[in-house]
Chain A
Amino acid sequence: MSHLDEGQLTCLLDDELTADERRAAEAHLGACAECRRLYEEIRAFSGEADALVTAVELPRQPAAPPARSAQPTTAGTSRTPLPWRSLAWAATVILAIGLGYSMRTRPTGMAQSDIGTDKGVAEREIAPPATAPAPPESGPPAVGFTLPRPADAPPPAAPAQARSEEAATPAATPAPTALRRDNRLTELASDATAPVAGATGNLDRTPAVSTKQAPAEARSIAAPVVAFHQVAMEEAVRTLGGTIRLLDGLKPQRVLTGPGTLVPGASADLPVVRVVYDDPPGRELWLDQQRLRVAEGARTGLTASAAPLLVGDTVAAPAAQGMQSVRWMDQAGFRLALTGFLPTDSLRALLRRVE
């Protein structure tokens, strides 16, 4: 008999040979020192390798299987029971839709007379933390919500009539790092047309000025509060017609959607999907996206409130609170904006990783 190869010796070791093959192999091993040496070597490797793999055990018990039904099933009359995971998934979807609906409808459900009053704001007003910054004395009276500013951020924007489009659209206002990691469900922001500087915030954010202190004329012109709300990735994908743009190499922290009015230069009549990331220093980085209608996107990507943006164009602009924003159109009709605290050059480098 010729020498046994590694495959045969491994089969012998794993008890995968037929009785005849085993007898022949063992007979050969009894007579061949070279094959015996190889067999011992393989056996040592095998034992060590198998021990290595089987030593990797689950850190925790996986979710338990569903409880078996006590009722016997009858062929033809029973249905295949659903696995618990499917039910959990369905429940999650229903919950997400319900939450999304409730968060969307709340602001619009307020009477106009309630907006900017205690009645309208009370539900969203939360006691300010001790470190909440005071509103600038020289600034215009603010109604609604203002984010506490990062330490390095410039002061709030100039009066409403002098503001640029970027500053006038507080959807680009960042969340400060200290308040960013809570489990919030919504991000409230003022309408792009609201004449209030920095009038944006979250449920847990601090009103800059109590509405009791706001002048009557300021309250009378306050715009309805519209909101970003958190959604599942699947819902965001559906919103964008079956696909979504993501930043290669960064992990999305959460996904939000809101009306186009919340984002500078976006089409007001289309929803915006915002994918929120953390940049390397841990601050928020937003990838806003709209999928324009075929005719609109193919033509220019022109929006009602922005300069024409052609496919291939990249426009950089300062955003509120010291953020920078880079906007562009891609070939598939996506209007995108990458907004964060990073320098414009870094944002431009990052946009090449959007896919």
Chain B
Amino acid sequence: MTSTDLSRLRLGTAPDSWGVWFAEDAHQVGWKQYLDDVANAGYVWTELGPQGFLPQDPQQLRDELDQRGLKVCGGTVFAGLHKGKDALDKAIADFSREARLLTEVGAKYLIHLPEQYTDMHTGEATQSGDIDPEQWSNLITGTNELARVIFEEFGVELVFHPHADTHVDTQDRIEQFLKDTDPQIVNLCLDTGHIAYCGGDNFQIIERFPERITYVHFKLVDPEVRERVRREKLSLAEAVPLGIMVEPPYGEPKVPALLDALAGLDRDIFTVIEQDLYPIASHIPLAIQARAAGYFTALGLGPIRHWPY
């Protein structure tokens, strides 16, 4: 057991942990099973998942959450802001829609996922993995602008999520991104698995940018699979079915040390468990996430309900 006080870290889960990557897909669980499973495992906080996965009507969404005693901590939307003005306009529309839904369910964090340069189904390259100075500038100014709009209009905070197979993946790029963006308005969703997958050091990032760590995706990487990914130059879509992301306490970074580092920030931070699993048989995720819930409870991280809803 860790001796650190973890009471300011709030545990949540997300559709990603049920193998949900798309609003709709034949190889994913449906939203009803997702919500049932989350509640049955005892979680209280959930994300909305890919835009369009959960009901989009605010009243229906509230009803479905209330029936199961669930609360929403955040939502996720992809955007390719490096592409310039048109991409920013589209992002403002998409993010505003999601931000509106988040405010309807009392949530205040919107996670900005950068667009992947590989196809999420096939892993094939869809654009260059390099980013030129103009594209970088588009990404920075676009992110600042997007964050400003959704905060001013909805009171929702944008947290940027560095991500494998995108232009903000390595520690160097992440640190550059944090230096270039406006710290008043753009902060970080630290996805521990994506950072470890791309060879970054989560602990260094927490140490160097403590004020920017606003939200956490708690994801763990199997180092042996990562070696193979590097050797064979595989895409994320190819790495996930190989089991690149594993259930706690296995994988990297080490769970107790990471929780200590996050608790050391002494702020209210959502730590949302994620384990990329797409595609997966529909009965597997509940077992994994039930075990994870028990594991984190033993470490003193919650809330997890012992009682059924």
Q: Decide if A and B are genuine partners.
A: no
Taking Cβ atoms with an 8 Å cutoff, the residues of B that contact A are: none
Q: A residues touching B (Cβ–Cβ < 8 Å)?
A: none
